[in-house]
């Protein structure tokens, strides 16, 4: 079978890996387009060129005048337009009018962080990753792009493809979790959702892979902090998702804020011009992060704005986001001979080529097909609810869920039960709290007729106030079941919001203890933007459902899952530790020379906490039970041209239909560099009726077994391997394989 056909087959079976069908076509521009762009560049002043390499905030002073003067390539943000009482499409039309009437009439582009919806707010990206459902994620981003582009926003700074292995870092909520294979599947699908097959369609938008690279590994989990990662760690864990989305035609990449191995990435030419452009073949535009060009001074590698501009430009950053340093400095740098005009032209050419691909030269108003903000489409609202349902992970269930239709009375308790803003998450484009259906309202509206719903807040999310606990205890006592909604608020997640603890903040634990003591069965719904350490809940909750940050339909989604109208469809995209002290804790760790042996203290362990996670990567319960048969491989020895077919019999042994996420992991027993104990290499969502069985098949090319050698080359090394198939990263069901 030719390689291309193999790849296609592997994709169909394993739900990951790009195909032409799900990639954006980045074919070369026509010669007419290239001529037009070159002619324009020939006519541009240095200031106009630097302007095309600049994006300003919509709150920039004298923005309109600057646009009219041809000094602004595009704008970022949408809130000030709202504050000015203008609707976004109206604002963007006004700006585009100014641009097309400027001296050269070059159209602008308009950015806005469209991360999980635009009008309708979908679940946060970490929740979407928990669906393990790439095509669903693609649909969510498609819907987001439709909404954003109707208003004129044609560039999003998403998806964030950063690997997040430290839950202290607030931005784990924006990513797809700890594993590169899952990350690629999810963020690759998101990219396709935003960009579609062609960027020039009026409802597709330019996507951005961010943040190149290693941002998730900030020391101590503190946002913006420095990062140190070995070359092999970068190549094997942090860079692959970037390479993957480049293969799928992503048009832009954002450099990270951080300094990586003592070099701020905004000034790292080996990374941007080398790894990204030369090695990965990226031909799109590279944008700095917000003010990051100017911040090279704070990083301590530039003494002046001029030096900062030069460092970033030389490294391959095409566009300065917000700091204005390029506009102020690049013309002078060219005049002084410090930056060549040829290099400047090349960057401008990349920018204009991307605007061309977006279709802006053909029609600067292409993305403004709505005069006012488009209404919230019912179809998108339904998608918001369904994706939230599919993302929720059932962590515990001791016979209490799904709630019986005749349960009679439910006490809804907790600081996040009657909350709206925190279900939206910290960055939510035009999402509005008043559109959010709270979990309390979701239960009121969706519980079976005749169910009595009572409510008490108990305690606030944070702080020491416990006065409300008594009332919460009273409502819990009077009900048949208590649903306690606890977790984190927007103030604890997202950019600039790292935590030094990953337990429940404030006095939420005291509330839970008091409710537990009533003896009323306690269902806990967790609203969280990260993996949390919740051993008490593990031991005491009668059921525990992680709802993540579920978006505006979080309430109905929780209600449907609790009452069994929907399955809790999610599986963990991150490992949940027992204690923060174990962090970073992830499933694909490396073996040590002293594996843990309880009889020998001088083996790897803590004296005060187990090594194992509280809930492993890939974990999640269902309302039914599944049994896995033996792992069967069609080869015991894989030759140079062989493809491996692995299969397992899956049976729904429970009494209702359900979906299992079947996961395949590989392990190389001996390598040149000690290979991780497991690597995810395939997954499938399989729906089975009660009592039904099926054979779940995976097809693995030899390359699925490749790992990094001592010289940082990815090789398939001859030797012994294991193939595990099961329900999470701790599956013990395996078969042995030898590779020749
Ligand atoms: C963030 C980026 C974001 C940008 C624009 C920055 O602070 O790091 O991820 O795209 O702001 O809003």
- The model's pLDDT over 343-383, given as tens digits with 9 standing for 90+, comes to 999 999 999 999 999 999 999 999 887 778 888 999 999 99
Q: How would residue 3 be classed by pLDDT, with cut points 50, 70 and 90?
A: very low
Q: How many CB atoms lie within 10 A of CB 420?
A: 20
Q: 360: helix, coil or strand? A: coil
- Kindly give the distance from the C-alpha atom of residue 204 to the centroid of ligand 1, in angstroms, as a whole number: 21
List, as one string, the DSSP characters of 12-32.
HHHS-S--GGGS---PPPPHH
Tokens 């739900």 belong to residue: 15
H or E element at residue 667: strand 658-668
- Whether the CB-CB separation of 472 and 413 falls below 8 Å is answered with yes
* Top mutation candidate among 290, 293, 498 for ligand 1, by most atoms within 8 Å of CB: 290
Q: How would residue 81 be classed by pLDDT, with cut points 50, 70 and 90?
A: low
Whether residue 130 is predicted with pLDDT greater than 60 in this model: the reply is yes
Report how far apart, in Å, the C-alpha atoms of 536 and of each of 325, 405, 568 are.
51, 29, 22
Q: Give φ, ψ of 311 to 5 degrees.
A: -60, -45
Distance CA 309, CA 97 (A): 30
The rounded radius of gyration (Å) of the Cα atoms in the chain is 26
- The model's pLDDT over 574-606, given as tens digits with 9 standing for 90+, comes to 999 999 999 999 999 999 999 999 999 999 999
* Top mutation candidate among 111, 113, 225 for ligand 1, by most atoms within 8 Å of CB: 113
Closest listed residue to residue 368, CA positions, set 615, 604, 585, 93 = 93
Give me the mean pLDDT over the 89-109 stretch: 95
- Kindly give the distance from the C-alpha atom of residue 161 to the centroid of ligand 1, in angstroms, as a whole number: 13
Distance CA 670, CA 675 (A): 7
Query: One of 113, 179, 223, 289 is an active-site residue; which one?
Result: 289
Nearest CA to ligand 1 atom 5: 290
Whether residue 61 is predicted with pLDDT greater than 90 in this model: the reply is no
Q: How would residue 458 be classed by pLDDT, with cut points 50, 70 and 90?
A: very high
- Kindly give the distance from the C-alpha atom of residue 428 to the centroid of ligand 1, in angstroms, as a whole number: 13
Distance CA 660, CA 133 (A): 12
* Predicted TM-score of the model (pTM): 0.96
pLDDT of residue 15: 46
For the chain, the domains span 387-582, 626-739
Nearest CA to ligand 1 atom 8: 289
| 626-739 CATH pick, 3.30.930.10, 2.60.40.10, 3.30.360.10, 2.40.50.140 | 2.60.40.10
Mean confidence (pLDDT) of the chain = 95
Give me the mean pLDDT over the 665-678 stretch: 96
Give me the mean pLDDT over the 63-82 stretch: 85
- The model's pLDDT over 400-415, given as tens digits with 9 standing for 90+, comes to 999 999 999 999 999 9
Nearest CA to ligand 1 atom 7: 290
- Numbers of helices and strands, H then E, in the chain: 23, 26
- The model's pLDDT over 131-179, given as tens digits with 9 standing for 90+, comes to 999 999 999 999 999 999 999 999 999 999 999 999 999 999 999 999 9
- Kindly give the distance from the C-alpha atom of residue 302 to the centroid of ligand 1, in angstroms, as a whole number: 22
- Whether the CB-CB separation of 444 and 453 falls below 8 Å is answered with yes
Q: Peptide bond before 584: cis, by omega within 30 degrees of 0?
A: yes
Task: Walk across the sheet containing 252-255 and list its strands.
Answer: 208-212, 252-255, 285-287
Percent of the chain scored above 90 by pLDDT?
A: 92
Report how far apart, in Å, the C-alpha atoms of 190 and of each of 119, 349, 523, 596, 636 are.
17, 27, 33, 40, 37
Q: How would residue 90 be classed by pLDDT, with cut points 50, 70 and 90?
A: confident
- The verdict on domain 387-582 having CATH code 1.10.3720.10 is no
* Top mutation candidate among 74, 115, 157 for ligand 1, by most atoms within 8 Å of CB: 157
Nearest CA to ligand 1 atom 12: 113
Nearest CA to ligand 1 atom 4: 290
From the alpha carbon of 322, which atom of ligand 1 is closest? 5
Q: How many CB atoms lie within 10 A of CB 233?
A: 15
Distance CA 643, CA 701 (A): 5
From the alpha carbon of 157, which atom of ligand 1 is closest? 10
Closest listed residue to residue 126, CA positions, set 679, 555, 426, 531 = 531
Q: 211: helix, coil or strand? A: strand
- Whether the CB-CB separation of 510 and 466 falls below 8 Å is answered with yes
Ligand 1, residues at Cβ distance < 6 Å? 76, 113, 157, 210, 289-290, 495
Q: In this structure, what token pair is assigned to residue 372?
A: 């006012």
Q: In this structure, what token pair is assigned to residue 409?
A: 């009375």
Distance CA 431, CA 425 (A): 9
Annotated catalytic residue 314: no
SS3 sequence of 552-568 = CCHHHHHHHHHCCCCCC
DSSP state of 35: H
- Kindly give the distance from the C-alpha atom of residue 26 to the centroid of ligand 1, in angstroms, as a whole number: 25
pLDDT of residue 186: 98
Distance CA 178, CA 182 (A): 8
Distance CA 271, CA 316 (A): 9
- Kindly give the distance from the C-alpha atom of residue 297 to the centroid of ligand 1, in angstroms, as a whole number: 19
Q: In this structure, what token pair is assigned to residue 611?
A: 């090594």
Nearest CA to ligand 1 atom 11: 290
- The model's pLDDT over 234-268, given as tens digits with 9 standing for 90+, comes to 999 999 999 999 999 999 999 999 999 999 999 99
pLDDT of residue 78: 73
Give me the mean pLDDT over the 275-301 stretch: 98
- Kindly give the distance from the C-alpha atom of residue 289 to the centroid of ligand 1, in angstroms, as a whole number: 6
Q: In this structure, what token pair is assigned to residue 681?
A: 């290499």
From the alpha carbon of 208, which atom of ligand 1 is closest? 10
Distance CA 294, CA 308 (A): 6
Q: Give φ, ψ of 633 to 5 degrees.
A: -115, 145
Residues in the chain: 740
Q: How would residue 80 be classed by pLDDT, with cut points 50, 70 and 90?
A: low
pLDDT of residue 84: 59
- Kindly give the distance from the C-alpha atom of residue 256 to the centroid of ligand 1, in angstroms, as a whole number: 9
- Kindly give the distance from the C-alpha atom of residue 85 to the centroid of ligand 1, in angstroms, as a whole number: 24
Q: In this structure, what token pair is assigned to residue 38?
A: 């070159």
Whether residue 33 is predicted with pLDDT greater than 90 in this model: the reply is yes
Whether residue 475 is predicted with pLDDT greater than 80 in this model: the reply is yes
């Amino acid at each position: 079978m030719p390689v291309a056909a193999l790849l296609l087959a592997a994709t169909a079976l394993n739900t990951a890996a790009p195909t032409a069908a799900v990639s954006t076509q980045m074919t070369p521009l026509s010669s007419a387009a290239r001529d037009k762009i070159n002619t324009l560049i020939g006519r541009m002043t240095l200031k106009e060129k630097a302007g095309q390499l600049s994006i300003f905030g919509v709150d920039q002073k004298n923005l309109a005048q600057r646009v009219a003067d041809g000094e602004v390539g595009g704008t970022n943000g949408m809130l000030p337009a709202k504050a000015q009482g203008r609707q976004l499409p109206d604002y963007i039309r006004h700006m585009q009018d100014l641009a097309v009437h400027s001296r050269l009439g070059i159209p602008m582009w308009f950015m806005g962080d469209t991360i999980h919806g635009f009008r309708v707010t979908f679940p946060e990206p970490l929740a979407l990753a928990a669906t393990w459902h790439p095509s669903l994620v693609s649909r969510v981003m498609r819907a987001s792009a439709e909404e954003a582009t109707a208003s004129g926003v044609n560039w999003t700074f998403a998806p964030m493809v950063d690997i997040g292995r430290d839950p202290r870092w607030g931005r784990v909520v924006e990513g797809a979790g700890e594993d590169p294979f899952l990350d690629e599947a999810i963020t690759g699908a998101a990219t396709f959702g935003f960009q579609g097959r062609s960027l020039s369609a009026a409802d597709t938008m330019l996507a951005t892979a961010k943040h190149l690279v290693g941002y998730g590994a900030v020391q101590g989990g503190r946002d913006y902090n420095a990062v140190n990662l070995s070359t092999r760690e970068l190549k094997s864990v942090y860079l692959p998702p970037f390479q993957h989305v480049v293969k799928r035609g992503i048009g832009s990449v954002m450099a990270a804020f951080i300094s990586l191995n003592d070099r701020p990435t905004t000034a790292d030419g080996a990374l941007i011009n080398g790894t990204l452009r030369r090695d990965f073949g990226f031909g799109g535009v590279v944008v700095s992060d917000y003010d990051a060009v100017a911040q090279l001074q704070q990083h301590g590698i530039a003494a002046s704005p001029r030096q900062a501009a030069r460092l970033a430009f030389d490294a391959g950053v095409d566009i300065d986001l917000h700091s204005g340093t390029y506009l102020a400095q690049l013309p002078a740098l060219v005049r002084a001979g410090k930056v060549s005009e040829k290099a400047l032209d090349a960057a401008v050419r990349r920018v204009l080529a991307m605007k061309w691909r977006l279709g802006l030269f053909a029609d600067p108003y292409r993305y403004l097909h709505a005069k006012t903000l488009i209404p919230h489409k019912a179809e998108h609202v339904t998608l918001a609810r369904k994706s939230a349902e599919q993302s929720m992970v059932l962590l515990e269930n001791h016979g209490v869920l799904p709630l019986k239709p005749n349960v009679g009375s439910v006490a809804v308790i907790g600081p996040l039960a009657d909350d709206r803003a925190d279900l939206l998450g910290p960055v939510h484009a035009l999402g509005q709290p008043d559109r959010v259906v709270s979990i309390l309202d979701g239960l009121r509206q969706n519980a079976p007729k005749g169910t009595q719903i009572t409510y008490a807040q108990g305690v606030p999310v944070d702080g020491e106030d416990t006065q409300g606990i008594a009332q919460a205890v009273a409502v819990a006592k009077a009900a048949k079941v208590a649903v306690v909604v606890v977790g984190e608020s927007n103030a604890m997640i997202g950019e600039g919001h790292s935590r030094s603890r990953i337990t429940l903040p404030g006095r939420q634990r005291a509330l839970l203890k008091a409710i537990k003591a009533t003896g009323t069965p306690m269902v806990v719904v967790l609203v969280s933007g990260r993996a949390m350490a919740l051993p008490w809940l593990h031991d005491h909750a009668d059921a525990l459902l992680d709802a993540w940050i579920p978006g505006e339909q979080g309430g109905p989604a929780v209600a449907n899952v609790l009452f069994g109208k929907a399955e809790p469809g999610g599986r963990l995209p991150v490992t949940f530790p027992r204690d923060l002290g174990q962090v970073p804790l992830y499933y694909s760790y490396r073996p040590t020379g002293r594996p843990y042996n309880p009889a020998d203290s001088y083996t790897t362990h803590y004296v005060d906490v187990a090594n194992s996670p509280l809930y492993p990567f890939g974990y999640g319960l269902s309302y039914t039970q599944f049994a896995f048969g033996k792992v069967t491989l069609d080869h015991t020895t894989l030759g140079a041209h062989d493809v491996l077919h692995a299969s397992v019999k899956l049976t729904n042994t429970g009494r209702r239909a359900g979906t299992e996420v079947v996961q395949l992991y590989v392990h190389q027993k001996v390598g040149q560099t000690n290979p991780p104990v497991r690597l995810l290499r395939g997954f499938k969502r399989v729906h089975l009726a009660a009592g039904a069985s099926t054979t779940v098949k995976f097809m693995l090319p030899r390359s699925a077994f490749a790992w990094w050698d001592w010289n940082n080359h990815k090789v398939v090394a001859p030797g012994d391997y294991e193939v595990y198939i099961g329900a999470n990263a701790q599956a013990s069901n395996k078969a042995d394989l030898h590779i020749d």
